[in-house]
Amino acid sequence: MKIRLPDGKELELRPNATVADVAEALGGRWRKEAVGAIVDGELYDLLKPLPEGAEVRLITKKDPEFQHLFRHTLAHVLAQAVKEFFTQKGYPEDAVKLGIGPVIENGFYYDIDPPEPISDADLPAIEAIMRDILRRNLPLRRTVLSREEALARYQDKDPYKTELIGDIPEGEPISFYSQEGFTDLCRGPHVPRTGMIPPHFKLTHVAGAYFKGDHTRPQLQRVYGVAFRTKEELKEHLWRIEAAKQRDHRKLGRELELFLVDPMVGKGLVLWLPKGNVLREELITLMRSEQKARGYQLVTTPHIGSLELYKTSGHYPYYAESQFPPMTLEDDEAYLLKPMNCPHHIRIFAAKKRSYRELPLRLAEFGTVYRFEQSGELHGLTRVRGFTQDDAHIFCTPDQVKDEFKSVIELTLYVLKILGLSDFRARIGTREPGSDKYVGDDALWNRAERQIQEAAEEMGLDFTLEAGDAAFYGPKLDFVVRDALGREWQLGTIQVDYNLPQRFDLTYTGPDGTPHRPVMIHRAPFGSIERFVGIIIEHFAGEFPLWLAPIQTVIIPITDRHTEYAQKVNAELSAAGLRSEVDGRQERMQAKIRDWEKQKVPIILVVGDREMEEGTVAVRDRRKKTRYVMAVDELIQSLKERIAERRLE
RNA sequence: GCCGGUGUAGCUCAGCGGUAGAGCAACCGCCUCGUAAGCGGUAGGUCGUCGGUUCAAAUCCGACCGCCGGCUCCA
């Protein structure tokens, strides 16, 4: 057979040759250093036969792809180690059953069904066995079996693997990778010997995971590990995790007294403390003024609505699982805590005859909604059971959809930019083909999906398409960010909806004097204010820019005799609209500075004899990391500017 | 909801079969101080809850509740 090399040269090899044969043929340092290859764009190991005519680029330990190879093999080593761990405990050879063991960002995991639960405390012992397997430097072999042979291998031994074999499409090779003492169904690729795996890995935690991610299937135990090429990368990674924990919004929320989740009030229900509420209010003020500038009108609607309303909208019983149960009155009248604002806004639209001249009609509300999220899913501010959306519903003509959609993208990008949030991605959720969980007819769906994509493209937005991520009534564009620990959260969302107007039989009178069906756009640039504040806390690590800071300035008198002057300065700052305080505690100046630095207050003003005489303040600017003396009115002027422009400094 | 872990003072944590401790915070007092912790004192906990084992339980066991890490879900 023949293959092609990156320099265009062809190489003649024996039939069914592997990357190892290529390395051998090339000789020299390749023979020693090749660990795999990129074959027609796909990562191959040394063991898998090459396709005829393939383009082969060899890789060594220095290439980033190497990481993928050894992480994958580490997953196998982990599974082997767990098997040995339980054999040592006296369990039979096949007591441990295996799911899948893939490579993930920074490492790998393996889903395991053990004879008794694995706990975090077992990880060091399992890790020790893994290191021993690396030390033994076991060679890996790749074998291909027929479907019958493969099934026979796991017959009555491992139901998961049996099922996985069944999932392999007809015609694809059913390959196994083995090393001494362990064989696994696997498509590869792997390193050729366990000794080639860098020993810089660590098992991090164990968690439950449903087989194939399906909660109706058995739950396996997923053991997670991280692995890197060098000791430094591993250390760096572990350090980053520790550093990220320092900016966890739940920790900062407690330390900076921003918010509280009190079990006595109820889980997933946020109590906003005075300081945290400042963040909320500032963000709402920002959004309110931007929306006003873009032609939105504010409305206010109640926290509950009649069950009939949600039956008409289709939210009930479709989402009954994730709603607080209806409140039923004696005469069978029932109400639902509102899980969404749209039905209320729809009734405002429907309240009178609407003309095409009124459209687009943009009804906005910072509306609080309640959803019965699963208890295990609750998480600080980012997953709660009651939250406020910066919600609005745009009622428009079909022709206006794209422009309105683009305008919302513009608004969203604008506020994200003000906050310096640049690390987000956009994804367009479309229907999952063949699923029956959507309402509305195909033509409308196709049209909406096309309009969203065009709007995003025309706004120059990079996005990914994700089938199955649509809302039940229409496709959507979501903005997604990562928190300090790398978890992804959905923030803003824009959704086109042809269906609710139909369900509520909404119409407007067109220029032709006849009724027409409006289109709705659901949109929330922040999404949930709670979640957004949570992300903002982590984004700034609690060191908020001046305009957001709950306390903007603190004045520290050096001794008692400076307190009066401090209060005078404070009065001037407060009159100028700054959130300011005097620290009049019986403490040394140093101690006060330390306390307020820990509270991450942006501006600390120290006043003593000199300042009192000159009518100045000594400024300690946290974000600029500088100190300077300034006249009070001058300072006020400069701070007001920073705030008005919402500068990030 | 499921699997695993965890729960001691407001916070961070020690104690892990013999009946509860530290630092910080709070409160009182002294100190009047120039850019990240001055000193002394006081008060504060039915050791998440309920049940079991034991002469004796914060400590061992069970259930429940909360929290943490995942999984599932997310209009």
Residue A295 has pLDDT above 90, yes or no: yes
Reference A523, options A481, A474, A483; nearest CA is A474
Which protein residue has its CA closest to C1' of B74?
Answer: A373
Ramachandran region, residue A110 (left: φ > 0; alpha: ψ -120 to 50; beta: rest): beta
Reference A256, options A533, A645, A484; nearest CA is A533
The span from the CA of A286 to the CA of A303, in Å, is 24
Amino acid at A230: T
pLDDT over 90 percentage in chain A: 83
Other Cβ atoms within 10 Å of A335 Cβ, number: 18
SS3 assignment, position A628: strand
Which bases of chain B are contacted by protein, using any atom under 7 A from a CB?
1-5, 11-12, 25-26, 29-38, 65-75
pLDDT over 70 percentage in chain A: 100
Structure-token match 């795999």, residue found: A36
* ipTM exceeding cut-off 0.85 for this assembly: yes
Confidence of residue A126 (pLDDT cuts 50, 70, 90): very high
Confidence of residue A380 (pLDDT cuts 50, 70, 90): very high
Report CA(A87)–C1'(B69) in Å, whole number: 27
SS3 assignment, position A99: coil
The span from the CA of A527 to the CA of A523, in Å, is 8
Residue A315 contacts strand B, CB under 7 A: yes
Would you say A625 and A602 are in contact if contact means Cβ atoms under 8 Å apart? no
Reference A629, options A615, A638, A617; nearest CA is A617
The span from the CA of A214 to the CA of A167, in Å, is 15
Mean pLDDT of chain A: 93
pLDDT number for residue A443: 85
pLDDT number for residue A318: 85
Positive or negative torsion for Cα A575, A577, A579, A580: negative
Residue A275 has pLDDT above 90, yes or no: yes
The span from the CA of A576 to the CA of A598, in Å, is 25
A176's enclosing H/E stretch is strand A174-179
Residue A435 has pLDDT above 80, yes or no: no
Which range (A122-136, A468-482, A572-586) has the least confidence? Answer: A468-482
**A327 Cβ contact partners less than 8 Å away, ≥ 6 residues apart:** A304, A334, A335, A336, A337
What torsion do the CA atoms of A387, A390, A396, A400 make, to the nearest 10 degrees? -130
Amino acid at A116: E
CATH 3.30.980.10 given to domain A66-243: yes
Residue A476 has pLDDT above 90, yes or no: yes
First to last CA, chain A: 64
Shortest-distance nucleotide from A609 CA to C1': B34
Task: Taking residues A166-193, report their average pLDDT.
Answer: 93
- Considering the candidates A184, A391, A483, A583, report the single residue annotated as catalytic: A391
A392's enclosing H/E stretch is strand A386-396
Instruction: Spell out the CATH class of A2-63.
Output: alpha beta
pLDDT number for residue A626: 83
Q: Domain residues of chain A, as ranges?
A: 2-63, 66-243, 290-539, 553-644
The span from the CA of A431 to the CA of A128, in Å, is 47
Q: Which of residues 607-636 of A touch strand B (CB under 7 A)?
A: 608-611, 618, 620, 627, 629
Confidence of residue A28 (pLDDT cuts 50, 70, 90): confident
Residue A148 has pLDDT above 90, yes or no: yes
Task: Taking residues A108-130, report their average pLDDT.
Answer: 92
pLDDT number for residue A351: 96
Amino acid at A4: R
Residue A358's Cβ-count burial label (10 Å; 0-12, 13-18, 19+) is middle
Would you say A224 and A204 are in contact if contact means Cβ atoms under 8 Å apart? yes
- At A585-644, the pLDDT tens digits run 989 999 999 999 999 999 999 999 999 999 999 999 988 778 899 999 999 999 999 999
Residue A317 has pLDDT above 90, yes or no: no
Report CA(A193)–C1'(B67) in Å, whole number: 43
- At A324-357, the pLDDT tens digits run 999 999 888 999 999 999 999 999 999 999 999 9
- At A499-558, the pLDDT tens digits run 899 999 999 999 999 999 999 999 999 999 999 999 999 999 999 999 999 999 999 999
The span from the CA of A59 to the CA of A340, in Å, is 53
Shortest-distance nucleotide from A476 CA to C1': B75
Q: Is A371 a catalytic residue?
A: yes
Pairing of strands A603-607, A616-621: antiparallel
Positive or negative torsion for Cα A376, A377, A379, A385: negative
pLDDT number for residue A533: 97
The dotted CATH code for A553-644 is 3.40.50.800
The pair of three-digit structure tokens given for residue A433, joined into one six-digit string: 């083909």
- Considering the candidates A393, A523, A562, A592, report the single residue annotated as catalytic: A393
Task: Taking residues A104-130, report their average pLDDT.
Answer: 92
Residue A485 contacts strand B, CB under 7 A: yes
Q: Please give the DSSP secondary-structure letter assigned to residue A356.
A: G
Residue A323 contacts strand B, CB under 7 A: yes
Residue A434 has pLDDT above 80, yes or no: no
Reference A492, options A517, A467, A515, A461; nearest CA is A461
The dotted CATH code for A290-539 is 3.30.930.10
- A317 preceded by a cis bond (ω within 30 of 0): yes
The span from the CA of A290 to the CA of A577, in Å, is 21
Which residues sit opposite A337 in a β-bridge? Answer: A304
pLDDT number for residue A171: 87
A365's enclosing H/E stretch is strand A361-370
- At A393-412, the pLDDT tens digits run 999 999 999 999 999 999 99
Report CA(A219)–C1'(B25) in Å, whole number: 44
